[in-house]
Amino acid sequence: MEEIKYTAFSHSWFDPWKDEDITCEYNFRKPARSEVNRFNKEVQKSSTAAQRNLLVTVVEPGDKDRLLADLEEYPALTLTVVSWVLKSSGLSNDAGN
């Protein structure tokens, strides 16, 4: 059985409501084809739920609770993190150009 490889993702920004710099770091594995296919089906119904489900599926188990807490506090973080996961798996914004 092949060992699962996780890669770190880190994101930092300034939170003006807390008046402090925020840094989040999580480890993710590459999504399987079936997980990307499920994401594509779910995104048609609810993009927010599809993004969250994909992230929860591919995050390292030890990072899951922290990720969920951060997504609750910073809802737009979902877009940033899922974009990185999908780009890391081959998604391109300029496909066909």
Domain ranges of the chain: 6-88
Task: In whole angstroms, give the CA distance from residue 78 to residue 9.
Answer: 13
pLDDT at 90: 82
Contact 10, 21 (CB under 8 A): no
What fold does the segment set 6-88 form as a domain? rbstp2171 (3.30.2220)
The rounded distance, in Å, linking the Cα atoms of 56 and 28 is 9
Q: What is the pTM of this model?
A: 0.87
- Return per-residue pLDDT of the chain as tens, 97 residues: 678 999 999 999 999 999 999 999 999 999 999 999 999 999 999 999 999 999 999 999 999 999 999 999 999 999 999 999 999 888 765 545 4
pLDDT at 95: 47
